[in-house]
Amino acid sequence: MKTFSLISAASALVVAGTAAIAQPAPPPPGGPGGPAPRPPMTRADFDSLTDARVAAIQAGLKLTPDQQKLWSPVEQALRANAGDRAQRMEQRRERGAPPAPRPDFMQQIEQRADWTTKAAASATALSTAMKPFWASLDDRQKRLLPILMRPEAAMRGRGGHRGHGPEHGGPRGHGMQR
């Protein structure tokens, strides 16, 4: 009798599982065509996210009053980098409408040289602003600052970055990303 009960219970579970698998999938959110596409970020959206990232860095570091005085130039450099990225994003969006012809080799070299010069100037400005601030941080803050400035790297569990190029803040990434 015990065996019959076990077989009956197992059969009931198999039938229930089969019925659950055979159910039609619920319609995707946003209607039959799937989720509605997310509208592109505006400059105001980008600025709001920059404000939030700057505030998160400050809150995470728990700055002392002396460190807060040294933070202002760092914040200005981070905001300048974010503004440059927002401008590049807007330019890409404007160029994206009509298909642009691929630049020839010489134009590619010139574009790369221009981008590298801008990225170097941006990294130098951040480095110059960061140096006195970094010297004022304790070991815990020094460990947290790179993570707070690059949260997507911390979520992946390693110190890397997603990519290279101007849309990612430079060859090694600098400033606030995304």
Largest CA distance in the chain: 85
Residue 7 lies in a domain: no
Residue 55 lies in a domain: yes
Residue 98, both tokens: 């009509």
> Radius of gyration over alpha carbons of the chain, in Å?
26
Q: Where are the alpha helices (DSSP H) in the chain?
A: 2-22, 43-61, 65-96, 105-136, 139-149, 151-156
Residue 86 lies in a domain: yes
Residue 158 lies in a domain: yes
Cβ-count burial of 78 within 10 angstroms (0-12 exposed, 13-18 middle, 19+ buried)? Answer: buried
What pLDDT sits at residue 124? 95
The whole-angstrom distance between residue 81's C-alpha and the CA centroid of its chain comes to: 14
Residue 13 lies in a domain: no
Question: Distance between CA atoms of 29 and 129, rounded to whole angstroms?
Answer: 46
* Cβ 71 vs Cβ 133: under 8 Å: yes
Residue 126 lies in a domain: yes
pLDDT in tens, the chain (178 residues): 555 554 555 555 555 554 555 556 665 555 566 677 888 888 888 899 999 999 999 999 999 999 999 999 999 999 999 988 888 888 877 776 666 678 899 999 999 999 999 999 999 999 999 999 999 999 999 999 999 988 654 445 444 444 444 444 444 444 444 4
What pLDDT sits at residue 15? 52
Say how many domains are in the chain.
Answer: 1
Domain that holds residue 159: 43-97+105-168
Residue 27 lies in a domain: no
Question: Distance between CA atoms of 21 and 83, rounded to whole angstroms?
Answer: 50
Question: Distance between CA atoms of 25 and 67, rounded to whole angstroms?
Answer: 55
Distances (CA, A) of 107 to 15, 38, 114: 66, 33, 10
Residue 37 lies in a domain: no
What pLDDT sits at residue 62? 96
